[in-house]
Amino acid sequence: MKTTPLFFSFLFLVGMGVNSEAANTVISWQGLGSGVGTSASWDSAANWSAPGSFNSTTTNLDFSNITTATTLSATGAGTISVGAIAFGGAASPTSAPNITLNGDGTAGDTIITLGTLSASTYVYVGTLGSTTSNSPVDTLGSDLTLNLGTNFTGYRYFGNYAANTAVTGTLAGRSVLLINSKIIGNSTGTNGQLIFNSYSAYGTGTGSYGNAATVLTNNANSFDAPMTQSGLLSYTSIGNIGGGPSALGSPSLASNGVLNFSNGAGFTYIGSATQTSNRDIKWGGSIGIQNAATTASVLTFTGNITNTATGSSPSTQTLRLGATSGNTLSMNGVIGDSATAGYLTKVVKDAGSTVITTYYDSTGTLKTSTNTGTVILRGANTYTGGTLVSAGSLLVANTTGSGLGTGAVSVASGGTLGGNGIIATTGATAATNVVVASGGIVSPGGVDGVAIDTLKFDAAGANTASSGVALLTMQTGSKFAFDLGASNTSDKIVIFDYVVGNLALNANAFTFSGAQAGSYVLFQTYSDALGNTLTATGLTAANFSLAGSTGLTGYTATLDFSTTGEVILNLAAVPEPSTWALLLGGGAVLLLPLARRRLQACKA
């Protein structure tokens, strides 16, 4: 399916419906960059095509005739009322210049009050050459204040719109709306919300089209309204309900703090500090949530995570979660399927979709991510659509239920599955088990910086040897990674309700860290759900490959299966060559007097 060729960037306030251009007066920019005048003062009525209509909540400001990169500023303090601000429109050229709109240089001096259209969705029709690649960045300066209004009841759109009916070629690039301005105002009623999205009217082209991108960088934003997003949105801060301003506003009520995501939404944190939010997340389709902080940080969501997909054509909805290198994304709420039958949830930790690999930084510059960071799932999750890990680490940290729901779990090459929680897939077929492919890793621990910990599997209701399917299958080439510590402490894998056959191993190797002499319990298997009774593992040395393992230099290693229900690693230090030489040398010194006495006895 083609996505939107977002040629034009718009900031506007609209109602719902169609054909709203007739509802407001549209006046065109006549100053710098337009080819008409040279003034850069956008707040001067004289620089507009109809000066008498300027500064009105029913007048739309159209900058679409600007043909080159242009920066415009206000001349002084004041409040300007507008119906909409558009950086592109029906008369737009085939180029897409960067346009910056600033205040007078002092934050708070220049306020833009957005009006309400009486008609419907405001869509500009643009023209676009078939070979043109467009990626404009339209910027609203940090010295501007955008006032959404008090107790507003209509939709407030911050979006990138394109309606290019004549497009026939391949388009690359995206339009970006970079909002450095402070946003204020509060909503009331069902329709009082902010919409960050994109619309388009497709042409006949079969090329690749880019989704919209919006960037919010003002951490003093105090707008109080729920949000809906369908394009790419980057933000520099987020807070709790009633927790004060942030780039995503300051919701006073749980209902105003809801983050709604529709298909194709990419939601990326680009700040520099650890953030926690209890705002609820509602979503459907395929979306991405990631932490791409500029310094190593943890982004935590503690609110509800609800799949709201509905309709008459049930399908699996994909929740893609990611973090860039050094960063962590923690999802603490319960992730489940939609309440509508057939709309399942699948959780993916990978780098395989633009909603999770593509985002824009605080300057509006395109960035890509391989998502090699860490995602933690802390809830007793109930989703049934399965889990895929193919990039970075996915850790479970739940204390009850199953951290990965009850569907199949696949760990691909480049992915790591770990944590200190419980994995409890259920069912009677291979479709509900954990399979680690060649290049994949299972590594207990790692949650919140704690290296040594226990990863637990619950085999209750899972496939057993009698059905020919294991609970955990380690394919040839997959590995275990264990941390070893002092006093014989180590990472550990524990399986409850175990029967022989729940583990299907293929001479899998280990990667060890922190090796020292001692005995380490790596696996424990229990016949019950509470971990009271150890039961035979059914494993032998042939199931593992110590010879192919790493991290044991300087030690002789053996695996011990003699204790019921345990696999124990025994490490003994190998003496250094200098130690052997010292021992041999010491022995020679001790033997020398004896040899002398024997020689003297022979002479006598």
Neighbours of 413 (CB within 10 A): 14
Residues 288 and 317: their CA atoms lie apart, in Å, by 11
- 292 or 601, which is more confident: 292
Output the pLDDT for position 66: 84
Cβ atoms 203, 164 nearer than 8 A? yes
C-alpha distances in angstroms, 386 versus 155, 319, 383, 515?
36, 11, 7, 35
Q: Where are the domains of the chain?
A: 1-211, 386-573, 574-604
> Who contacts 63 (Cβ-Cβ below 8 Å, separation ≥6)?
29, 85, 86, 87, 88, 99, 101
Tokens 């759900």 map to which residue?
A: 529
Output the pLDDT for position 170: 47
- Strand 454-458 to strand 492-496: parallel, antiparallel, or no bridges (unpaired)? parallel
- Strand 156-163 to strand 10-12: parallel, antiparallel, or no bridges (unpaired)? antiparallel
C-alpha distances in angstroms, 104 versus 72, 220, 489?
10, 19, 63
Output the pLDDT for position 339: 96
* Mean residue pLDDT across the chain: 84
Q: Which long-range contacts (CB under 8 A, 24 or more apart) does 242-247 make?
A: 245/219, 245/220, 245/221, 246/219, 246/221, 247/216, 247/217, 247/218, 247/219, 247/221, 247/271
Backbone angles phi, psi at 300, to 5 degrees: -120, 130
The region, left, alpha or beta by phi > 0 then psi within -120 to 50, assigned to residue 468 is: left
Q: Which long-range contacts (CB under 8 A, 24 or more apart) does 556-563 make?
A: 560/519, 561/537, 563/534
pLDDT, average across residues 487-508: 95
Residues in a beta bridge with 275: 299
Residues in a beta bridge with 415: 392
pLDDT in tens, 304-340: 999 999 998 999 999 999 999 999 999 999 999 999 9
pLDDT in tens, 344-391: 999 999 888 888 888 999 999 989 988 999 999 999 999 999 999 999
Residues 449 and 438: their CA atoms lie apart, in Å, by 26
Residues 91 and 37: their CA atoms lie apart, in Å, by 17
Determine the Cα angle at 410 with ends 407 and 413, to 5°. 170
Cβ atoms 503, 470 nearer than 8 A? yes
- 296's tokens: 């190593």
Secondary structure of 214-254 in HEC code, one letter for each residue: EEECCCCCCCECCEEECCEEEECCCCCCCCCCCCCCCCCCC
pLDDT, average across residues 516-533: 97
> Would you give the distance in Å from CA 401 to the centre of its chain?
24
Output the pLDDT for position 587: 54
Q: What's the one-letter identity of residue 1? A: M
> Would you give the distance in Å from CA 330 to the centre of its chain?
10
The pTM of the full predicted model, rounded to 2 decimals, is: 0.89
Tokens 């003994």 map to which residue?
A: 572
Output the pLDDT for position 154: 77
pLDDT at 161 over 60: no
- Beta strand ranges found along 83-202 (DSSP E): 84-86, 99-101, 110-114, 137-140, 144-147, 156-163, 176-179, 182-184, 194-201
Residues 194 and 158: their CA atoms lie apart, in Å, by 7
- Strand 144-147 to strand 176-179: parallel, antiparallel, or no bridges (unpaired)? unpaired
Residues 374 and 140: their CA atoms lie apart, in Å, by 34
Sign, Cα dihedral of 306, 301, 227, 223: positive
pLDDT in tens, 49-62: 999 999 998 888 88
Residues 104 and 122: their CA atoms lie apart, in Å, by 28
Residues 144 and 138: their CA atoms lie apart, in Å, by 14
Residues 434 and 508: their CA atoms lie apart, in Å, by 15
Residues 493 and 376: their CA atoms lie apart, in Å, by 18
C-alpha distances in angstroms, 245 versus 147, 251, 361?
15, 8, 20
Q: What's the one-letter identity of residue 58? A: T
- 415's tokens: 């992915």
Neighbours of 356 (CB within 10 A): 28
Highest mean pLDDT among 155-159, 292-296, 427-431, 499-503: 292-296
pLDDT, average across residues 196-213: 51
Determine the Cα angle at 69 with ends 63 and 73, to 5°. 60
Q: What's the one-letter identity of residue 382? A: T
Residues in a beta bridge with 298: 328
For the chain, give the percent of residues with pLDDT over 70: 79
pLDDT, average across residues 476-487: 98
Neighbours of 512 (CB within 10 A): 25
pLDDT in tens, 405-456: 999 999 999 999 999 999 998 754 556 689 999 999 999 999 999 999 999 9
Q: Which of 539, 485, 476, 491 is nearest to 515 (CA)?
A: 485
Residues 567 and 111: their CA atoms lie apart, in Å, by 69
